[in-house]
Amino acid sequence: MPMALYSSNEEIILSGTAVSPGLVFAPVHVIGRGMIAPDVYEIKEYYVSNEIDRFKAAVEVTKHQLSDIQKKIEAISGEQEALIFEAHLMILQDKSLHTKVINGIEQRLQNAEFVYYAVIQTYTEAIRRMNDPYLSERAVDIEDVAQRVLRNFISAEPEQKAEETNPEHKHIIVAYDLTPSDTVLMDRSQTLGFATEQGSVNSHTAILARSLGIPAIVGIPDAVMKVRSLTHIILDGYSGKVILNPKPETIKKYRKVQRNKREREDGLEELKESKTQTVDNHRIVLSANIEFDHELPLVERAGAEGIGLFRTEFYLLGGGEIPDENRQTKVYSDVAAGVQPHLAIIRTLDAGGDKLPAEPLPEPEPNPFLGWRGIRVSLARKGMFKDQLRAILRASVHGRLGVMFPLVSGLKEVIQAKDVLKECMDELHKEDIPFNEKLEVGVMIEVPSAAIMADSLAKEVDFFSIGTNDLIQYTVAVDRVNKNVSSLYKPTNPAVIRLIQMTVDASHDNGIWTGMCGEMASDLNLTPLLVGLGVDELSVGTHQLPKIKKAIRSLTHSDCQAMSKEALKARYSHEIYELSQGMAHDSYHFLID
Ligand code: PEP
Ligand code: MG
């Protein structure tokens, strides 16, 4: 059913899933699905016929364009191929759609392109809700045509246009979905937060929002339809609420919440210099996850003991061409020097999946998460892989660096990756370029086959780091970014807990250590379980790090061990979760929101 936008001054609360904490208050900038939302502005009544004419003119221009394309395609590829444009022309000239747009302009007194956009959105939303793959394709066709019409509106705007529509101003993005690259490319000086219809806690978009410190909410049904550009909203990245047109008393209430949160977080800064150890003196290394080298000051401020995961793909693939060996050497050297004497672990490129591909693919992959990603790409693109490994080796003289390979599924890949590393070392020797011969080498345990083979892998490396974001997805066969199956995505799934235990045991039996850098490590409710399972290092986002430190310092290792033993016998996710959560609440309820 068509859905109305909320009127301009009603206070409305929309709910989703909070994925990145923080509170912000600003006007909205809406980004629709597949189509760029045009700005909206009110028109005077005497402008109505002018707006209707603009709409008709845009349709007319589009009609000529589509007919021309149709003819060209017919000449090149034949009649059959050109039929799609016949369908596009029918969509363009659909009588009921035209009536809706004209009535909309008359009744809403809004500019033609926005009314057209809103009508198209109601159509495509209704079609998509039917969940029929054939009809979903038709929604894409409709958007295709609509995008063309929107581009053909004559752009001279009357002066009523609101000035604040300029997204150069500080704003909160409300979007159907954002890709990790959209998030990386966001103008952070202007974008205070974002809310999307799609997405999940473990998507890279959400992880990036946390590391960039941008409050974010995902999974708000029909957000794009319900919110319009320029509406003022509060985005509460703690509770997952978006409040449209908040009343003065609501703003006051949230300002107070914001002050309290800040005070609480400032209190944790005192812990910066203290050790991460339990009440009975069991040490855990607490390090930070980063995506960009400019996060280094945050790592220091949070009191991290090193970097447990530098996801290099956003740095390498975020800005056009992949930086060459020299430019990479500079960045990794800064990271090494920035955290010394602690260890900084550089993870080699993890392209693919829901992240950017290393190169344009000839055709889309049917199952990107099971496809060309992680170490598979690096091994297939040896030149690119060697540039990165040589840069890491050259940087290793500036501090304590480690290298880690992502998405390893078995021993062969580890041996192959180590061979390439050895080749780089030999070259540097010949070139008389210094590096640390004892560079620590690790693998991520994020594929069940790697966890099961951990005893073999442990003989080849210096450490493991468990990537629970992927380990859960591959163990339970649940797409980490698909909200339709998110109820199955449980870090405490007994199968996942057993794989973690197997990994930890295999590492200790072979004299190496195991860390965890997936998002599970940031969940305060699960800290007792991870400490009890014997994980040696936790690597978390800088915003969460002080809280995890405080949590560990409130726990008793022997109690955690006893509880984890019980957890390993449990048959259901919720039983394991409740055991750990119970201990977390008893030990530091004041930290958990
Ligand atoms: C993981 O899978 O847990 C992990 C840390 O890697 P990423 O989230 O980058 O896939
Ligand atoms: Mg991963």
pLDDT tens, position by position, 369-385: 999 999 999 999 999 99
Which class would CATH give 41-160?
mainly alpha
Please give the pLDDT value at position 161.
32
pLDDT at 175 over 60: yes
DSSP state of 241: E
Q: Is 294 a catalytic residue?
A: no
Percent of the chain with pLDDT over 70: 90
Structure tokens at 135: 């009809």
User: What does CATH list as the number for 12-35+165-264?
Assistant: 3.50.30.10
- Work out the angle at residue 129's Cα, subtended by the Cα atoms of residues 126 and 134, and round it to the nearest 5 degrees: 95
Question: For the sheet containing 216-218, what is the strand order?
Answer: 12-15, 241-244, 232-236, 23-31, 171-175, 191-196, 216-218, 17-20
pLDDT band at 5 (very low <50, low <70, confident <90, very high): very low
Please give the pLDDT value at position 157.
39
Q: Which residues share a beta bridge with 440?
A: 402
pLDDT band at 133 (very low <50, low <70, confident <90, very high): low
pLDDT at 221 over 50: yes
Q: Is 32 in the pocket of ligand 1 (CB under 6 A)?
A: no
Q: Is 197 in the pocket of ligand 1 (CB under 6 A)?
A: no
DSSP state of 320: S
**pLDDT, greater one: 138 or 56:** 56
Contact 315, 295 (CB under 8 A): no
pLDDT band at 134 (very low <50, low <70, confident <90, very high): low
Ligand 1 atom closest to Cα of 520? 3
Q: Is 518 in the pocket of ligand 1 (CB under 6 A)?
A: yes
Structure tokens at 447: 């594929």
Domains 41-160 and 449-535+543-593 share a fold: no
User: Lowest-confidence range among 76-80, 345-349, 431-435, 496-500?
Assistant: 76-80
- Superfamily designation of domain 449-535+543-593: Phosphoenolpyruvate-binding domains (3.20.20.60)
Please give the pLDDT value at position 78.
65
Please give the pLDDT value at position 131.
67
pLDDT band at 73 (very low <50, low <70, confident <90, very high): low
Ligand 1 centroid to Cα of residue 346, in Å, is 13
pLDDT at 363 over 80: no
What does the domain layout of the chain look like in residue ranges?
Answer: 12-35+165-264, 41-160, 285-445, 449-535+543-593
Q: What's the whole-number mean pLDDT along residues 65-73?
A: 75
Ligand 1 centroid to Cα of residue 469, in Å, is 5
Cα separations in angstroms, 100 against 94, 96, 105, 116, 418 = 10, 6, 9, 8, 63
Query: In whole angstroms, what is the distance from residue 88 CA to residue 92 CA?
Result: 6
Ligand 1 centroid to Cα of residue 494, in Å, is 20
pLDDT at 39 over 90: no
pLDDT tens, position by position, 485-540: 888 999 999 999 999 999 999 999 999 999 999 999 999 999 999 999 999 999 99
Q: Is 424 a catalytic residue?
A: no
Q: Is 313 in the pocket of ligand 1 (CB under 6 A)?
A: no
User: What does CATH list as the number for 285-445?
Assistant: 3.20.20.60
Q: What's the whole-number mean pLDDT along residues 182-207?
A: 81
pLDDT tens, position by position, 468-483: 999 999 999 999 888 7
pLDDT at 159 over 60: no
Pick the catalytic residue from 29, 88, 171, 204. Answer: 204
